[in-house]
């Protein structure tokens, strides 16, 4: 384990993830920066949700993400592929914030991933 200098934030400070589960869905709420340092936390949370889904949709709320790097884009694409293979619905919630929607558009993932503008809409399908 590497000790961070006292002024360096931990990955838990840079990326916060909350998960709530009920009979209708598993919702993974992500806030902060998704980059090389934090992407593994996102992968673990989404993978665990897909394992626990049992036919329920997994909704990943990205509306509080302030930075989405290429590693985060790759993790979301991988999660979509895993979800498709397991036949588990994966739905991403985004808003019009450039931090998330712009990288998705530039990469073309906005045409591939199931994007919604609210958790409520993602749960309707």
Q: How many CB atoms lie within 10 A of CB 110?
A: 15
Q: Which pLDDT score, from 0 to 100, does residue 5 have?
A: 55
Cα 32 to chain centroid distance, Å, stands at 11
pTM summary value: 0.89
Q: Which pLDDT score, from 0 to 100, does residue 96 have?
A: 85
Residue 125 has pLDDT above 80, yes or no: no
Residue 100 tokens, joined: 């998330």
Q: Which three-class secondary structure state does DSSP give residue 108?
A: coil
For residue 108, name the pLDDT band (cuts at 50, 70, 90): very high
At 26-67, the pLDDT tens digits run: 999 999 999 999 999 999 999 999 999 999 999 999 999 999
């Amino acid at each position: 384990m590497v000790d961070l200098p006292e002024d360096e934030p931990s990955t838990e400070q840079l990326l916060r993830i909350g998960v709530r589960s009920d009979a209708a869905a598993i919702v993974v709420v992500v806030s902060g920066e998704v980059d090389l340092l934090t992407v593994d936390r996102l992968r673990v949370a989404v993978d665990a949700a897909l394992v626990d889904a049992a036919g329920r949709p997994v909704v990943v709320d990205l509306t509080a993400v302030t930075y989405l790097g290429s590693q985060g884009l790759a993790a979301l694409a991988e999660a979509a592929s895993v979800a498709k293979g397991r036949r588990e619905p994966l739905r991403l919630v985004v808003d019009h914030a450039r931090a998330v929607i712009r990288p998705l558009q530039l990469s073309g993932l906005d045409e591939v991933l199931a994007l919604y503008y609210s958790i409520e809409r993602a749960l309707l399908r």
